[in-house]
Structure 1
Amino acid sequence: MTDFLDPVLTFIAENPSLAGLICFLAAMGEALFIIGLFVPTTVVLVGAGTLVGLGKLDPVPLFIWTTLGATAGDAISYWIGWRFKDKIKTMWPLNKYAHLVEAGEQFFQKHGGKSVFIGRFVPGVKSVVPGIAGMAGMNFTRFSVVNVTSAFAWTIVHIAPGIIAGSALGAIGQISGRLALVLGALLFVVFLIVMLGRWLILIVLPLFPNTHAAIVRGFARREDRVSQWIARNFDPAHPRSTGMLASALLLLITMPLFFWIVGEVAPGEPMVRADLAILNLFDSLRTPVGDKIMVFMTSLGDGVVVTAVTVAVAAYLFGRKAWRRGTGFIIAMAGTALFVPLFKLMLHRSRPIELYAGADAYSFPSGHATLTAVLFGICAVLIAHDLNRWAKASIFTIAASFVITIGFSRVYLGAHWMSDVLAGLLFGTAMVSAFAFVFGPIHNEKIGRATVAGIVVATLAVFGGWHISSTFDKALLTYEPRSNTEVLTASGWRQSGWQSLPARRIELNGDREEPLVIQYSGSLEHFAHTAEKAGWQLPPKWSLTTAGGFVEGKTPSDSLPILPRSQNGRQPDLVLIRKDTDEAGGRWVLRLWPSRYEILEGGSLQALYLGSVVHEDILRPMGEFSGPRTDVHVPDPADNPALLLPGAQTRQRADGIKVVLATGPEAQVQTGGADKLNRTGR
């Protein structure tokens, strides 16, 4: 994967002025009046800072460009406010965000001229404060001084975290590039969730300002008790109506999704194949350092830690005489703790590895993901109660990140399938939504938000620390990578065993793709050398030059790098191409993937590889691009290079697809990845 990023990083490193221009436009865009709501500046600047930390960009020009962009954006917003004054409030689409303009006016009235500096760091008002300053007639010279100094500080705040993250990932990458990839992917997912939530709150919801009130009025006109209750509790004037509405919608979404996943984990469904492919992918990314980090996180979700936090929070709620919330909390946790093992026993889905006995021996849903989602989700509801939306967003982001990381650790360590964790998170979210819906409107039970947060953190630190210190070494052994290799005798494989191997390539989403027409046991070096005699060669490696061939209309087929394809989560160990002499611009592509099988022959074990041979037609739309498109998924026997190997045999499946069985000349003791020759062009 890092090899695919290298061309991008190289391009940025070789074109620093372009990177500076992008940062300039992003910083300016976020500062523009209202438009800044739509510009993902944080993503761009943190990403640029990460490249600085990785040594791909010079920080000084990047800092200058970003500061200039932020300064220019505020200056333009100031001019818009000075030019149009109060007309702004009636102009489309600005009139859809009148509440932000009003918030900016209140902010400016409260803080005066220094609001230009402070407002740049306050979500929700930073895109309107400069315009409000212009509307209020703030002196331009004074505004410019504050503008430049605030842009300077703002740039540091946005780029510095990326530099730190890039430096950390670079250091981790020196230990293990795979670990850096896993951590980077996890951070990206969490960051994406936060950004989508931000856009939903600031951009999408204001576009439908009257929908909420119209629905409530419709219920109010009905005389039955249910409609009247809905009208009272979901009235926009009700201080907690928005939260209740959000909880109800989340509940209506998550529960159907949970039961949809239940139906998708039946044997033979695509999600089952996707689970196996994802498990294999994570297995290939595991490292000793990554194992320690993930064991640490998964231990924080163990039953003893969850129980300790539950008891501590419940004791505090009852101690403060918050009887209804305390009772609801206990019901939610106890109900979830009862639901998980009962559902495991009902579904009887096996785990990827053997871990526990009894109901916990089964996999669906993940108890770690479900219970931590309910526990820390309800704690987040209690802590965020009656706070402003940005405080709520921050609290729920922290809780969600913690729970998602624990769920991620279960898949990484092979303790659960991905669908187990997704189902657990969905059910847990539904329980939290139900709790927030029922107990959110309660206002006469006073609890200390900071106290609840302190109890949760302290209990995690004390009991979690004690639990990890006493069980960490044992947990590392429990979750250590396990080989699932299956050995076949050479004679048994040739006679009937070949039929038990996968017939088609399985994508990460579980879809079955092109047939696997080669089963080869032996040295990849020997296979490549034999195929070379028939015109098969290594594909070009990915680089800035070869990647540029896709945008040129006359690039020969043998000069284009190969697009990645995985088989059951594994990357190919050998990729070869052969130019098609019968068709202008086409090529044949062979891929060999490692399997979990080994062949026993002559007292030695040989790794068994599964392969496909497909034909790619090179499309050239408008004569300006070169794009490979697979047009033949099953080759004629003459086009299968495995037949070139001495002793190769052809077998035919029930669907008519012919499979070539071949072996190398020597018997070597090999494991699944021991014979990799780095022949994928990466």
Structure 2
Amino acid sequence: MNAGDWLYQLTPSPGMLLTLITAVALVESLALIGVVVPGVVLITAAASLAGHYGINVGIVMACAFVGAVIGDGLSYWLGYRYREQVTAVWPLSRHPEWLARGARFFQRHGPLSVLLGRFVGPVRPIVPLVAGIMRMPPATFTWANLGSALLWAPAYVLPGYLLGRTWQQWLALPAALHPWLIGLGVTVVVLAIVFSLVRHHAYPQGLLYRGLATLTRYLPRGDSLWRALAPHHEEEPPLASWLLLLSALTALSAWTLIVLAHNGPLAMDVRLNTLIGALDLPLLHHASQVLAEAGDTFGVIALVAPWAIWLLARRHFAALLHIGAGLAGIAVLNTIGKSVIGRARPDAPDYLVHSLSYPSAHTSTAVVLYGMAAAFIAQSLPRGQRFMPYWVAILVVVPMALSRIVLGVHWLSDLIGGALLGLVVCAMVQLAWLRNERTALRPCPLVTLLLASLALVSARVFWLPPI
């Protein structure tokens, strides 16, 4: 079985996909769970796959409608049946402000709150629960639930479905690449969801935190181990960072051994390189070149410079030191890794003629840079919104990494190794940062700094040669 066939098997069948859409819509609307599940991302991804398969759009929207109605209905029933008890259940026991926010929204809009609340992210899964607690008449809630679901289903399903129907026409990609792209999308979404859930449950009130705390009680010297992994740090305990470090380091070691054992490109590397090399898409190649230049040494300096100047001016020396250490550390590790592995590139233009392939420095540096940025930004956000910077970082890093394959200067396995190496460095920087209490990095002139970075990166792309 080749890699493309293996990737294709990762995608669900049409029947399973419809079941998945129903389940996602249900969970996304369900109180206590919907507040921590990135439902919009999941619905968009599932609807895109449904569009690619050509499943009838009416059936897709009907499944989303049914799931949404059941999810809101269950939330309402929980509030109606278990008024006081539900507030003592995690995560509402940990975040009573979520319930207060939903109550204020319900009091402001009355019966319309169920209709409006389905489209307002922070209160979406809470309003039906509050409606039950506040004893909204069942008949009134039922009509509001059905009406809001009728509007919600097409609004959330159609954009993803349209994307799935048209992406291959936009890019005119050969059929042999479809399994790779679908497999990539499924893999990235699944890993991102797992990462988000692990981070969310690695806090003192989370299931993962409590489960591991219980487990270590039965281990020799378990108390000492637990104090090292997760000392009492209510705001940002380092357990998630330790888990990321251990899992990424293990995966990087195993993957590097596989690369070394092959003494050359893997079978999937050769197959994908051949497929990409056969493409005749000048626009895609040009976009990849822009991303490559934005992610090289000059591009990283241009991107970081405004933020470094602001941190220096505001005397945030610790943050500046950690960012600098992360970027310097990944540069050193990339140099050592390339020298030790000694793997040749699939193609080496003049400016890369003396450069080696594994791991991908562009990928690892992007993971470190945007991963650190996401971590710093997440610390200034409410707990329920901290997954958002990480998803944005993923949306930036994945195209930047894939541009290296389009340009023909890296194998797919180089990108995987680079991403894992970048995650190791990200986790190490985060662990170092969390050793001490830190001053907040806000207020930050976010828009001004973003525009300055964009201007400098644009200047780098248009006026400096690639390195």
Change (3 A) 1:198 1:124: farther
CA contact (8 A) 2:48 2:164 kept: yes
Paired residue for 1:389, among 383, 390, 395? 383
**Match for 2:231: what amino acid?**
F
1:140 aligns with 2:147: no
SS at match of 1:239: coil
Give 1:111 deviation, angstroms: 2.3
Measure the CA separation in 1 of the matches of 2:65 and 2:119.
Answer: 14
Q: How far has the Cα of 1:142 moved from its partner?
A: 4.0
Does the C-alpha gap of structure 1 residues 212 and 106 become closer, same or farther in structure 2, counting only changes over 3 Å? Answer: farther
TM-score calculated relative to the size of structure 1:
0.55
Distance 1:153-1:327 versus aligned 2 partners, 3 A rule: same
Higher helix proportion: 2
Deviation at 1:162, TM superposition (A): 1.2
The 1:215–1:83 alpha-carbon spacing in structure 2 relative to 1, beyond 3 Å, is closer
1:305 to 299, 302, 314: 299
Cα distance, 1:305 vs. partner?
Answer: 0.6
Partner of 1:260: 254
Q: Which residue of the partner structure matches residue 679 of structure 1?
A: none
1: CA distance, partners of 2:427 / 2:58? 47
The answer (yes or no) to whether the contact 2:378–2:386 under 8 Å persists in 1 is yes
Q: How many residues end up aligned between the 2 structures?
A: 453
- What is the distance in 1 between the residues matched to 2:252 and 2:322? 22
Q: Which of the numbers 465, 480, 494 marks the counterpart of 2:458?
A: 465
Q: Would you say the 8 A contact 1:345–1:359 is kept in 2?
A: no
CA gap of 1:450–1:272, structure 2 versus 1, over 3 A, is same
| CA distance, structure 2, for counterparts of residue 432 and residue 254 of structure 1 | 10
Once the two structures are TM-superposed, the CA of residue 250 in structure 1 deviates from its matched residue by: 1.2
335 and 207 in structure 1: CA distance in 2 versus 1, 3 angstrom threshold: closer
SS at match of 1:78: helix
Say whether residues 1:234 and 2:244 are aligned partners.
Answer: no
Note if contact 2:241-2:430 (Cα within 8 Å) is conserved in structure 1. Answer: yes
In structure 2, what is the equivalent of residue 317 of structure 1? 311
> Cα 1:382–1:112, aligned 2, differ >3 Å: closer, same or farther?
same
Deviations along 1:525-560, whole A, 9 cap, x unmatched?
Answer: xxxxxxxxxxxxxxxxxxxxxxxxxxxxxxxxxxxx
Shift of 1:379: 1.9
CA-based RMSD of the aligned residues comes to 4.6
Between the aligned partners of 2:225 and 2:33, the Cα distance in structure 1 is: 39
Cα distance change of structure 1 residues 318 and 301 upon mapping to structure 2, 3 Å threshold: same
Contact kept? 1:240, 1:441, Cα under 8 Å: no
Distance 1:360 1:147, change over 3 A: farther
Q: Which moved more, 1:407-416 or 1:190-199?
A: 190-199
Q: Which deviates the most, 399-408 or 57-66?
A: 57-66
Cα shift at 1:368? 0.7
Distance 1:255 1:101, change over 3 A: closer
Instruction: Verify the 8 A CA contact 2:105 2:127 in the aligned structure 1.
Output: no
Give, in angstroms, the shift of residue 395 of structure 1: 0.6
Displacement after TM superposition at 1:415 (Å): 0.7
1:661 aligns to what? none
Q: In 1, are the aligned partners of 2:380 and 2:442 still within 8 Å (CA)?
A: no
Spell out, residue by residue over 1:589-617, the C-alpha distance to the aligned partner (whole angstroms, 9 max, x if none). xxxxxxxxxxxxxxxxxxxxxxxxxxxxx
1:133, 1:332 → 2: CA distance?
Answer: 48
Q: Check conservation: 1:349, 1:363, Cα contact below 8 A.
A: yes
For the 8 Å contact 1:383–1:452, the answer to whether it is kept is no
- 1:74 and 2:72 equivalent? yes
Shift of 1:447: 2.7
Any idea what the Cα deviations from partners look like across 1:251-277, whole Å, max 9, x if unmatched? Answer: 222233323333332254697444334
Moved more, 98-107 or 163-172: 98-107
Instruction: Identify the residue that residue 625 of structure 1 maps to in structure 2.
Output: none
* Partners of 2:343 and 2:324 in 1: CA distance: 28
Give distance in 1, aligned partners of 2:19 and 2:134: 32
Q: Given that residues 37 and 203 in structure 1 are in contact (C-alpha distance below 8 angstroms), is that contact kept between their aligned partners in structure 2?
A: no
Deviations 1:194-232 (A, max 9, x none): 33345546789844463465589999x999xx879748x
Residue 251 of structure 1 corresponds to which residue in structure 2?
245
Is the Cα contact below 8 Å between 1:37 and 1:202 reproduced in 2? no
Q: Which amino acid in 1 is paired with 2:402?
A: F
The structure-2 alpha-carbon separation of the partners of 1:367 and 1:64, relative to structure 1 and needing over 3 Å to count, comes to: closer
Give the aligned partner of residue 556 of structure 1.
none
Distance 1:133 1:370, change over 3 A: same
Task: Give the Cα–Cα distance (whole angstroms) in 2 for the partners of residues 214 and 308 of structure 1.
Answer: 47
Name the CA distance, whole Å, in 2 between partners of 1:383 and 1:19. Answer: 34
Aligned-residue offset at 1:110: 2.9
How much does 1:160 deviate?
Answer: 3.4
Query: SS where residue 317 of structure 1 aligns?
Result: helix
CA contact (8 A) 1:352 1:416 kept: yes
- SS of 1:448's equivalent in the other structure is coil
Partner AA of 1:461 in structure 2? L
Q: Please tell me whether residue 370 in structure 1 is matched to residue 367 in structure 2.
A: no
Q: Deviations over 1:412-450 (max 9, x none)?
A: 322112222222212211212122122246555443364
CA positional deviation for 1:137: 1.4
1:63, distance to aligned residue in structure 2 (A): 4.6
Quick check: 1:176–1:287 contact (8 Å CA) kept in 2?
Answer: no
**In 1, distance between residues paired with 2:36 and 2:387?**
18
Deviations along 1:435-484, one digit per CA (max 9) or x if unpaired, are 212224655544336435752x335522332333357xx98xx9xxxxxx
CA displacement 1:562-601 (0-9 Å, x = unmatched): xxxxxxxxxxxxxxxxxxxxxxxxxxxxxxxxxxxxxxxx
Q: Structure 2, unaligned stretches of length 5 or more?
A: none
Within 1, Cα distance between the matches of 2:242 and 2:227?
14
Counterpart of 2:118? Answer: 120
With over 3 angstroms needed to count, the CA separation of the structure-2 counterparts of 1:291 and 1:204, relative to structure 1, is same
Secondary structure of the residue aligned to 1:210 is helix
Match of 1:361, SS state, is: coil
Kindly state the Cα deviation for residue 399 of structure 1 after the two structures are TM-superposed. 1.0
Deviation at 1:246, TM superposition (A): 1.1
Q: CA distance change for structure 1 residues 203 and 138 in 2, over 3 Å: closer, same or farther? A: farther
Distance 1:170 1:338, change over 3 A: closer
Secondary structure of 1:351's match? Answer: coil
User: Which 10-residue stretch deviates more, 124-133 or 327-336?
Assistant: 124-133
- Corresponding residue SS for 2:445: helix
Q: Distance in 2 between matches of 1:382 and 1:248?
A: 17
Task: Work out whether 1:448 is the aligned partner of 2:442.
Answer: yes
Q: What residue in structure 2 maps to residue 130 of structure 1?
A: 128
Match of 2:210 in 1: 210
Go from structure 1 to structure 2 and tell me whether the alpha carbon gap of 1:102 and 1:447 turns closer, same or farther (over 3 Å shift): closer
> Does the C-alpha gap of structure 1 residues 352 and 449 become closer, same or farther in structure 2, counting only changes over 3 Å?
farther
Is residue 323 of structure 2 the alignment partner of residue 329 of structure 1? yes
Structure 1 distance, partners of 2:442, 2:362, is: 27
Q: Specify which structure has the bigger relative contact order, considering alpha-carbon pairs within 8 angstroms and separated by 6 or more residues.
A: 2
Write out aligned runs for 1:348-427 (5 A). Answer: 348-356=342-350, 361-427=355-421
| Superimposed CA distance per residue, residues 501-522 of structure 1 (whole angstroms, 9 cap, x where no aligned partner) | xxxxxxxxxxxxxxxxxxxxxx
2:160 maps to what in 1? 162
Alignment of 1:234-633 (within 5 A): 234-235=231-232, 238-241=234-237, 244-266=238-260, 268=262, 272-284=266-278, 287-356=281-350, 361-440=355-434, 443-448=437-442, 450-451=444-445, 454-455=448-449, 457-470=450-463
